[in-house]
Structure 1
């Protein structure tokens, strides 16, 4: 267990859950180079994830889950991310979706319960697929180009989804589409074995390559009416605490970079010095700055998570706080990794060192929603309205 994260463990339950997350992190760490090289999610890591029953953790206990609080969810996700950010981010989508479905209940009871029991008993993994090349981020309000047309009591879907994390390893896809007969955006729960589905191996990015965020192509996919599980216009948008899994992931990457930088600084001694570089003034300054930034980021994120857990009556008004956490933490994580790179110097660019991967991976956090500009305008609007 990382020393920084250890300070956030409060009880024996946390110790038990952290132990499971640490096992996943250790397994993921073994496969990061192959996953990064191949742009694929590790089969071996997913096996351990399922052995630890991690996919069911955010489900209520009555469905076989661990009924995680938001605080616990973030703690476990950050732990996994210290081992591998791609693994954490990928599983964060699944776990967050199950948490949202459990708490908000936007689906029919029998549909949710069927999926919940499958996740608990067989450790099924799901993800929402909303992003498309032509519409950009769904948070910007774009209408899906994927279409659902009703024919003889069934829906036929055609389209392409991008950023489908764990694309080839998911058991179910929750796909957004414009439903023509309803003139609304809807969500369809689709089994991965449904005819007409295929994964197009398009994922070739700078960072977070191990998320396997390929394209999902829907070519005449036929589903039943009951597979339309949610219609956008029927549910009011509300703040989503579970989306803090995003900053938790990138904070874990920053912690891993900090650890690697300290190990490097305390072991590297050039022949121009009588000591390791950890005794050099500007190196110590950089280490101190990393600690300061990590303290701020952790305090803000976990304080907000505790507020979410302990004061549920305030959740509807926490949208700006949640967004501010994402803005603060992902930017701080980028700054910490940059400092780690500066400590390692030119050696940090080598593929033989972990720093260049941390540098590539943490950058992706700036492009996960909500975007910095949207958060700043939200905060400015609230301040001016007051």
Structure 2
């Protein structure tokens, strides 16, 4: 077992789950370079995830899943991201949303039971489609321009959604739309085969290229009213979203991959100006030690907050600031670790023959995932002021 995970795996169940993620991580690592080069989501990776049962892990046991905890979710996602950050982040949205639906009971039980069967038996995958060109991230509070107009027992949806991760591979989209009739925002469950649903392959970024976070286009999509699955500010929702910690877990996994690559490089690279590999050089050891410190601080914070989330459900609604702090600390630490790994490898870290430059591009994306650093800082400041 990798020493980096040894202190976080606490029982036999977690070891078995970790072994599943470890095997998948090795497989998807082999395809990471190709997915990055083509800026395309790997359907081969998704097939491996489906065949292994990974896509069902956050479902309740009674619906064919493993009912994994937040702590276990992060452990698996971090390891998976070591192999390929894009694949881990993409499937993390699916698993996290299923966990959210499971724990917060946002949907009618019959609707959730049906979608759970689709996931566990037919290996279907889903994601939310909320971000739009004009409104930006929904975490900033923008009202969607996508419209839902009632027409008899159906709604007609029109609009464009951006950053729809894993778009070409999704079977279901949970789409937010403004409902003028009731002056509210609803979430509609849309199937990929519904007439008027199109994917616009717009994803062409420097990092996380394999997520295929394309645009979703809706043109007069007719949705029966039974598929209006959520209304904004509906009762029972929690203000804190523990499942979103899959984001920092993913970037932590990328940082671990960069750390491992840098240590291997340092132990094996010996220029003719030295009598030993560069791992024996003091300033290289300094950088390796700095990577270890960053990972120790960030990961112990992440797993301790996840454990508290699992063990103290009565406190979850008050944990928003802590969850946001985890995202800020871990993603920024991951960014520093990857930078240090490249300093260790020197000019070779810029070569496409090594994975460092891909790790660097991928980890940079973490700074733009929600919640943003400025929101987190303000949240923590306000809490400190109010509690004094």
| TM-score bracket relative to the smaller structure | over 0.9
Distance in structure 1 (CA, Å) of the matches to 2:195 and 2:39:
25
Distance in structure 2 (CA, Å) of the matches to 1:278 and 1:377:
41
Are 2:307 and 1:306 equivalent residues in the alignment? Answer: yes
Distance in structure 1 (CA, Å) of the matches to 2:225 and 2:181:
12
Shift of 1:183: 1.1
Residues 280-334 of structure 1, C-alpha deviations (whole Å, 9 max, x = no match): 1110000000001101011100000110111111111111100100010000000
Aligned to 1:363: 364
Residues 122-161 of structure 1, C-alpha deviations (whole Å, 9 max, x = no match): 1110000100111011100001111011112211111111
Q: State how 1:246-265 maps to structure 2 within 5 Å.
A: 246-265=247-266
Distance in structure 2 (CA, Å) of the matches to 1:20 and 1:52:
8
Aligned to 1:168: 168
Are 2:234 and 1:234 equivalent residues in the alignment? Answer: yes
Shift of 1:82: 0.6
Aligned to 1:339: 340
Are 2:246 and 1:219 equivalent residues in the alignment? Answer: no
Q: State how 1:97-136 maps to structure 2 within 5 Å.
A: 97-136=97-136
Aligned to 1:318: 319
Aligned to 1:11: 11
Are 2:134 and 1:138 equivalent residues in the alignment? Answer: no
CA contact 1:184–1:233 (8 Å) conserved in 2:
no
CA contact 1:239–1:317 (8 Å) conserved in 2:
yes
Aligned to 2:200: 200
Distance in structure 2 (CA, Å) of the matches to 1:283 and 1:233:
52
CA contact 2:59–2:66 (8 Å) conserved in 1:
yes
Gaps of 5+ in 1: none
Distance in structure 2 (CA, Å) of the matches to 1:37 and 1:183:
44
Distance in structure 1 (CA, Å) of the matches to 2:283 and 2:306:
35
Gaps of 5+ in 2: none
Aligned to 1:268: 269
Q: State how 1:20-31 maps to structure 2 within 5 Å.
A: 20-31=20-31
Distance in structure 1 (CA, Å) of the matches to 2:158 and 2:47:
32
Shift of 1:233: 3.0
Secondary structure of residue in 2 paired with 1:86: helix
TM-score by length of 2: 0.98
Aligned to 1:245: 246
Shift of 1:173: 0.5
Aligned to 1:283: 284
CA contact 2:104–2:238 (8 Å) conserved in 1:
no
Residues 52-74 of structure 1, C-alpha deviations (whole Å, 9 max, x = no match): 11111001101110010111000
Two-structure CA RMSD over aligned residues (Å) = 0.9
Distance in structure 1 (CA, Å) of the matches to 2:303 and 2:318:
17
CA contact 2:238–2:317 (8 Å) conserved in 1:
no
CA contact 1:78–1:249 (8 Å) conserved in 2:
yes
Secondary structure of residue in 2 paired with 1:266: helix
Secondary structure of residue in 2 paired with 1:55: helix
Aligned residue pairs, count: 386
Distance in structure 2 (CA, Å) of the matches to 1:167 and 1:26:
24
Q: Which moved more, 1:226-235 or 1:316-325?
A: 226-235
Q: Which moved more, 1:13-22 or 1:69-78?
A: 13-22
Secondary structure of residue in 1 paired with 2:233: helix
Q: Which moved more, 1:231-240 or 1:149-158?
A: 231-240
Distance in structure 1 (CA, Å) of the matches to 2:256 and 2:183:
46
Secondary structure of residue in 1 paired with 2:279: helix
Distance in structure 2 (CA, Å) of the matches to 1:104 and 1:370:
20
Shift of 1:3: 2.6
Runs of 4+ in 1 over 3 A off after TM superposition: none
